[in-house]
Amino acid sequence: MWCGLTLASPVRRRRGWRVVAVLLLACVAGGAVGCVRRRVPAAAAAQPGAQAASPITVTALPVFRLITTPVLVDSPSRLLVIQVRLSTGSEGAYHFAPDGLVLTLPNGGRARVFDRDRALILLQRTSLAEANLNYLQQPDHPEGGVNPYVRPQLAEMVGSQLLTYGVFGGGQVLQGYLVVDTGESLMSLDGAAIEVVAYRLSDSTPRRDTYQFATAPAATAPAGTETQ
């Protein structure tokens, strides 16, 4: 009791005050540490290597194969048509140029993305077929998975909507087709990735996003089919 301390000898009083002083210092130190911890919550600490989410979004889908000879209409092809869509959830507008797009293949190599003139020539010299070879599992599928009567119209549609220079943002998307050469025939683009760099119109700040093609069970080509 405090009264006991006051009635004790001077030696005891000095020892008692020392104990009280130590306890008070411990309490103050503990409170200071608590304050420091509250100022910098663990959740707010910077995470090494963390990156802010990109304001642009890229989505892509292989839609057609380009067939150079009728014999290979139901076989994988190295020439593909990919539909690409660019959008943004922010209020800013962004400018896209075709040289700001890279398609990286599953083996780490880069696919060739044809410019508009070369793409149009390829569309004229080839025929379209369904990119997804799963149609081969259907017993009564048309050759190439596409009705031959609509192939010319589809090729014309792709040629008129090739992805080129454009602006997107403010609720407006930029969408079009790419004609690419993967260098070798692939059953699918699973494991590949498309990276796009676009520039904000207000200050030319570059922003990038990558679309990763999902890995899915690959279709099995019938025995005896060849690849282009």
Q: Residue 123 burial by CB count (10 A; 0-12/13-18/19+): exposed, middle or buried?
A: buried
* pLDDT (0 to 100) of residue 14: 45
With cut-offs at 50, 70 and 90, classify the pLDDT of residue 215: low
CB 206 within 8 A of CB 178: no
Q: What is this structure's pTM?
A: 0.71
| pLDDT above 70 (res 153) | yes
Can you tell me the mean pLDDT for 134-153? 91
* Residues linked to residue 209 through DSSP beta bridges, in sequence order: 196
Can you tell me the mean pLDDT for 55-81? 95
Strands (E), the chain: 56-67, 77-88, 93-96, 101-104, 112-113, 127-130, 166-169, 174-186, 193-200, 206-212
Which token pair is 164? 């080129």
Neighbours of 97 (CB within 10 A): 12
* pLDDT (0 to 100) of residue 25: 40
| pLDDT above 90 (res 171) | no
d(CA 113, CA 122): 12
With cut-offs at 50, 70 and 90, classify the pLDDT of residue 64: very high
Q: Which pLDDT tens digit goes with each residue over 82-138?
A: 999 999 987 789 999 999 999 999 999 999 999 999 999 999 999 999 999 999 998
